[in-house]
Homo-oligomer: A and B are copies of this chain.
Amino acid sequence: MPFVRISLNRGRSPEYIRALADNTHRALVEAFDVPADDRFQVIHQHEPGELIFDRGYFIDGERSDGFVLIHVQAGRVRSEAAKRATYRRLVELLGQSPGIRPEDVMITISTSQPEDWSFGHGMAQMLDKPIPRCSHVE
Contacts and interface: CB of A to CB of B under 8 A. Distances in A.
Nearest to A27: B122
B87 A69 contact: no
A46 B90 CA distance: 24
Please classify how large the interface on chain A is, using the bins under 10, 10 to 19, 20 to 34, 35 or more: 35 or more
Contact of A115 (B53, B80, B112): B80
B53 A39 contact: yes
Q: Give this chain's copy count.
A: 3
Contacts of A39: 52-54, 57
Given A44-B42, A80-B127, A118 B132 contact: no
Interface in A63-109: 63, 69, 71, 73, 75, 80, 83-84, 87-92, 102-109
Interface of A: 3, 7, 14, 17-18, 21, 35, 37-54, 56-61, 63, 69, 71, 73, 75, 80, 83-84, 87-92, 102-112, 115-125, 127, 129, 131-132
11 contacts: A3-B71, A35-B57, A41-B51, A43-B51, A60-B121, A83-B124, A84-B124, A87-B122, A91-B118, A91-B122, A106-B120
